[in-house]
């Protein structure tokens, strides 16, 4: 040893221990060598998961919606007769009542977007940046608002305002308000109240990333608190625009108000025209799909506006470590006014329609023109205990919603994992694209696509007759819920460092056991919330239910609408109240059970919005 090091023994040992191995020449592989075949087989085996996932996504989203939309321009391509390419359906859709519906929808959505951004944005500002009283309560109510479907809000207001309505029963003449409400104004009003949460959530998120430095800089250089706000609003521009875009897309695709208030006020909107095209006998799928195209295309409008407004400007404000902004102290008078305004807002958005439905449900013979009823529980007795089969829709919807929640979570987990897997590359991008596209897809287009695609002769030929069955309904619910729920899960998923799963694998846990013992426990709170949301949204879901329910088994939303349409307000309202109560009980019950029963460590898991 010529080493000058002090520890010759260790050196010698290491010399022995580590020997460089000569460079190995790689054998030149033959054109179809065994290695190549093996490599191909192993590549397929490795992507088996992604392939299965894509098969499911294809059955749920890509194939039915694709086939439906394609037949508008090329009925022959999907095995129907007719030309290879035609624009007749689009031309038809851009004329007559469907054109009017589309114009109405665009107008309603634009106004609603502006109103929602103004109101929801102010609310987010008040809750996150001022000492507005009740700022812990309002976000909870925003979530509650998200859970009440639009058709219930619309109907709740109708119970209150209509002639012989709740107000009339108490001797209050609301006919003036009703005349204004029963039409475009009411449609915009109800949609604004319902879509508020979307604007609120988006603006609140951008406020969270907007550190206090811009406000502080403005204040330091002499601006008062209100002037400072005016400085910051343009910086929030991208957030406000995307809030507007989301509200616009939500409103364009709404079916709840379209099929209740708008329909009975003879104010046609696009989604209801699409429904009509399918509901007519014979159904006009070509026209329905053309309207579907236009609805999907309309989502491009706010995106284009956004892109144009932001062109060449950058608003990167998130700096990784953002400090908590200080809250603006409101003067006592301002506090009072702000509190009053917020309380009024939620009374109108949530309180009035729910009270309308609740009071109506307690009045005997409500809605009939002859009697002013006494307070009674008969309606509830009829819904819950009667042998009239009224409880059956509730039971059916509960089962469907439970199944939809379970399947959505089971599918959402691997999809979210795929989307956050940095090495997944193009597959992840394509999946992301499909899901993102489906978020903006109106439920009514999806449901129409299901009817069309799963009636195609191909499926009958292989013995797959899914149309008008409960499984297809569940599939429709899952397809509606999955895109949104995966987006909800992706955030927490990306917070999970890959190394946590790697650590489990390295220390002897199989892939499946790693899911069971590490991933799912760590995500348990997110999964619980996602399941609860899916359950609640599905329980009272309207467009898919309306188009896909098996004959004789109407889901609760369809049943409520049928009773209301048939002037059986008494039972309809009672059923509404019971369904909402069930939503509430299930959510609160699940949260309580989780708190009581989940292992101690699970409660430390990543929660939604952390």
Partner 1 sequence: MGSAANAGGAGLARAPRVVIQDATKQFGSKVALDGVSVEVTPGSFLVLLGPSGSGKTTLLRGLAGIERLTSGRIAIGDRVMDDGGRTHVAPEHRNLSMVFQDYSLWPHLTAVENVAFALKRLQLPKTEVQPRAQGLLDRVGLGGLGDRYPNQLSGGEQQRVALARALVANTGLLLFDEPLSNLDANLREELRIEISTLAREAGATSVYITHDQGEAFALGDAVGVLQRGRLVQYGTPEDVYYRPVNPFVARFTGLAGELDGEAEPGGAGPEAHAARVRLTSVEGAPVVGAASALGRSGTGRGKVLIRHTAARISAADASGSTIRGRVTDVAFRGRGYDHAIELVGEGRLVGVHDERRWSRGDHVGMSLDGTGCFFFPDDKVADDALT
Q: Which of residues 2-21 bind partner 1 (CB under 8 A)?
A: 3-7, 10-21
DSSP secondary-structure letter at 21?
P
Calpha distance 489→415 (Å, rounded): 9
Are the C-beta atoms of 11 and 3 separated by less than 8 Å? yes
Least gap, CB of 34 to partner 1 (angstroms): 9
Q: Which is nearer to partner 1, 18 or 140 (CB)?
A: 18
With CB under 8 A as the contact rule, the residue among 39, 107, 309, 592 that binds partner 1 is: 39
- The C-alpha angle 318, 492, 241, rounded to 5 degrees, equals 45
With CB under 8 A as the contact rule, the residue among 31, 506, 595, 596 that binds partner 1 is: 506
- Give Cα 602 distance to the centre of its chain: 26
Calpha distance 385→112 (Å, rounded): 41
Are the C-beta atoms of 205 and 176 separated by less than 8 Å? no
| One-character DSSP codes across 415-476 | HHHHHH-TT-THHHHHHHHHHHHHHTS-HHHHHHHHHHHTTSHHHHHTT---TTSHHHHHHH
Q: Applying CB under 8 A, which part among 149-157, 211-219, 283-291, 492-500 lies near partner 1?
A: 492-500
Least gap, CB of 209 to partner 1 (angstroms): 24
Q: Applying CB under 8 A, which part among 32-40, 316-324, 361-369, 534-542 lies near partner 1?
A: 32-40
In 76-220 the beta strands, taken as DSSP E runs, fall at: none
With CB under 8 A as the contact rule, the residue among 395, 410, 433, 500 that binds partner 1 is: 500
Q: Which of residues 215-254 bind partner 1 (CB under 8 A)?
A: none
DSSP secondary-structure letter at 22?
P
Distances (CA, A) of 296 to 74, 90, 135, 154, 260: 18, 13, 37, 24, 22
Are the C-beta atoms of 178 and 252 separated by less than 8 Å? no
Q: Which is nearer to partner 1, 38 or 173 (CB)?
A: 38
Least gap, CB of 432 to partner 1 (angstroms): 19
Distances (CA, A) of 478 to 49, 404, 407, 413: 19, 5, 7, 13
Q: Which is nearer to partner 1, 313 or 321 (CB)?
A: 321
- Which of 133-153 are b and which e, b meaning 16 or more Cβ less than 10 Å from the residue's Cβ? bebeebbebbebbbbbbbbbb
- Does 173 interact with partner 1 (rule: CB under 8 A)? no
With CB under 8 A as the contact rule, the residue among 518, 562, 590, 591 that binds partner 1 is: 518
Least gap, CB of 351 to partner 1 (angstroms): 39
With CB under 8 A as the contact rule, the residue among 190, 274, 352, 504 that binds partner 1 is: 504
Least gap, CB of 427 to partner 1 (angstroms): 15
Least gap, CB of 174 to partner 1 (angstroms): 54
Q: Applying CB under 8 A, which part among 86-94, 169-177, 503-511, 583-591 lies near partner 1?
A: 503-511
- At 350, which helix (H) or strand (E)? none
- Does 522 interact with partner 1 (rule: CB under 8 A)? yes
Instruction: Kindly determine how many residues on this chain lie close enough to bind partner 1 according to the rule CB under 8 A.
Output: 49
Calpha distance 27→25 (Å, rounded): 6
Number of residues written out for the chain? 610
Q: Which is nearer to partner 1, 324 or 499 (CB)?
A: 499
Calpha distance 477→479 (Å, rounded): 5
Least gap, CB of 25 to partner 1 (angstroms): 8
Calpha distance 93→33 (Å, rounded): 57
With CB under 8 A as the contact rule, the residue among 184, 386, 491, 521 that binds partner 1 is: 521
Least gap, CB of 328 to partner 1 (angstroms): 33
Cis amide leading into 465 (omega within 30): no
With CB under 8 A as the contact rule, the residue among 457, 508, 551, 552 that binds partner 1 is: 508
- Does 30 interact with partner 1 (rule: CB under 8 A)? no
Least gap, CB of 558 to partner 1 (angstroms): 42
- Does 337 interact with partner 1 (rule: CB under 8 A)? no
Are the C-beta atoms of 260 and 151 separated by less than 8 Å? yes
- Does 592 interact with partner 1 (rule: CB under 8 A)? no
Least gap, CB of 46 to partner 1 (angstroms): 8
- Does 32 interact with partner 1 (rule: CB under 8 A)? no
- Does 511 interact with partner 1 (rule: CB under 8 A)? yes
Q: Applying CB under 8 A, which part among 124-132, 169-177, 338-346, 511-519 lies near partner 1?
A: 511-519
Least gap, CB of 10 to partner 1 (angstroms): 7
- Does 38 interact with partner 1 (rule: CB under 8 A)? yes
Q: Applying CB under 8 A, which part among 140-148, 205-213, 313-321, 519-527 lies near partner 1?
A: 519-527
| One-character DSSP codes across 192-245 | HHHHHHHHHHHHHHHHHHS-THHHHHHHHTT--HHHHHHHHHHHTHHHHHHHHH
DSSP secondary-structure letter at 78?
G
First-to-last CA distance in the chain?
Answer: 60
Residue 33: what are its φ and ψ, rounded to 5°?
-70, 160
- Does 517 interact with partner 1 (rule: CB under 8 A)? yes
Calpha distance 610→608 (Å, rounded): 6
With CB under 8 A as the contact rule, the residue among 281, 314, 324, 499 that binds partner 1 is: 499
Q: Which of residues 361-420 bind partner 1 (CB under 8 A)?
A: none
Distances (CA, A) of 552 to 159, 382, 390: 27, 19, 12
Least gap, CB of 14 to partner 1 (angstroms): 4
Q: Which of residues 44-63 bind partner 1 (CB under 8 A)?
A: none
Residue numbers at the binding site for partner 1 (CB under 8 A)? 3-7, 10-24, 26, 35, 38-39, 42, 497, 499-500, 502-511, 513, 517-518, 521-522, 524, 599, 601-602, 604-605
């Amino acid at each position: 040893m010529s080493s000058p090091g002090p520890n010759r023994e260790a050196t010698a040992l290491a010399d022995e221990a580590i020997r460089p191995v000569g460079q190995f020449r790689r054998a030149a592989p033959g054109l179809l060598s065994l290695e190549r075949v093996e490599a191909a087989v192993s590549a397929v085996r490795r992507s088996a998961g992604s392939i299965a996932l894509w098969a499911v996504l294809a059955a749920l989203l890509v194939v039915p919606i694709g086939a439906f939309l394609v037949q508008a321009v090329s009925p022959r391509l999907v095995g129907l007769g007719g030309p290879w390419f035609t624009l007749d359906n689009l031309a038809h859709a851009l004329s007559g009542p469907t054109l009017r519906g589309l114009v109405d929808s665009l107008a309603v959505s634009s106004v609603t977007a502006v109103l929602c951004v103004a109101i929801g944005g102010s609310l987010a500002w008040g809750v996150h940046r001022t000492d507005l009283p009740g700022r812990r309560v309002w976000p909870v109510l925003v979530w509650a608002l998200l859970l009440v479907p639009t058709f219930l809000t619309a109907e709740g207001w109708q119970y209150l305002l209509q002639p012989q309505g709740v107000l009339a029963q108490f001797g209050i003449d609301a006919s003036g308000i009703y005349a204004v409400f029963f039409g475009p104004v009411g449609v915009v009003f109800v949609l604004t109240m319902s879509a508020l949460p979307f604007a609120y959530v988006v603006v609140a998120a951008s406020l969270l990333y907007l550190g206090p430095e811009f406000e502080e800089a403005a204040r330091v250089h002499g601006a008062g608190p209100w002037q400072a706000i005016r400085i910051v609003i343009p910086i929030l521009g991208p957030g406000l625009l995307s809030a507007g875009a989301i509200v616009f897309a939500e409103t364009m695709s709404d079916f709840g108000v379209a099929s209740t208030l708008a329909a009975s006020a003879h104010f046609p909107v696009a989604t209801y025209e699409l429904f009509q095209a399918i509901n007519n006998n014979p159904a006009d799928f070509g026209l329905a799909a053309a309207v579907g195209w236009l609805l999907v295309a309309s989502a491009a409008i706010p995106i284009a506006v956004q892109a144009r407004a932001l062109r060449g400007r950058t608003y990167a404000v998130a700096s990784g470590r953002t400090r908590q902004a200080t809250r603006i102290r409101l003067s006592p008078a301002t506090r009072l006014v702000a509190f009053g305004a917020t309380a009024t807002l939620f009374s109108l958005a949530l309180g009035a329609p729910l009270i309308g439905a609740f009071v109506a449900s307690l009045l005997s013979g409500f809605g009939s023109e002859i009697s002013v009823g006494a307070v009674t529980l008969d309606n509830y007795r009829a819904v819950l205990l009667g042998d009239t089969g009224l409880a059956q829709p509730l039971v059916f919807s509960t089962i469907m919603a439970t199944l939809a929640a379970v399947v959505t979570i089971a599918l959402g987990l691997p999809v979210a994992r795929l989307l956050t897997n940095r090495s997944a590359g193009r597959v992840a991008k394509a999946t992301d694209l499909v899901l993102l596209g489906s978020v903006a897809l109106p439920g009514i287009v999806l449901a129409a696509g299901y009817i069309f695609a799963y009636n195609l002769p191909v499926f009958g030929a292989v013995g797959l007759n899914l149309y008008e069955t409960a499984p297809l309904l569940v599939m429709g619910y899952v397809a509606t819920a999955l895109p949104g729920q995966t987006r909800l899960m992706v955030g927490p998923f990306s917070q999970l460092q890959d190394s946590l799963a790697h650590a489990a694998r390295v220390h002897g846990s199989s892939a499946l056991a790693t899911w069971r013992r590490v991933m799912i426990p760590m995500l348990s709170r997110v999964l619980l919330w996602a399941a609860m949301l899916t359950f609640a949204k599905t329980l009272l879901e309207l467009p898919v239910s309306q188009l896909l329910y098996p004959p004789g088994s109407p889901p609760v939303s369809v049943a409520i609408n049928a009773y209301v349409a048939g002037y059986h307000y008494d039972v309809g309202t009672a059923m509404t109240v019971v369904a909402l109560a069930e939503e509430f009980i299930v959510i609160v019950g699940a949260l309580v059970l989780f708190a009581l029963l989940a292992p101690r460590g699970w409660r430390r898991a990543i929660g939604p919005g952390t």
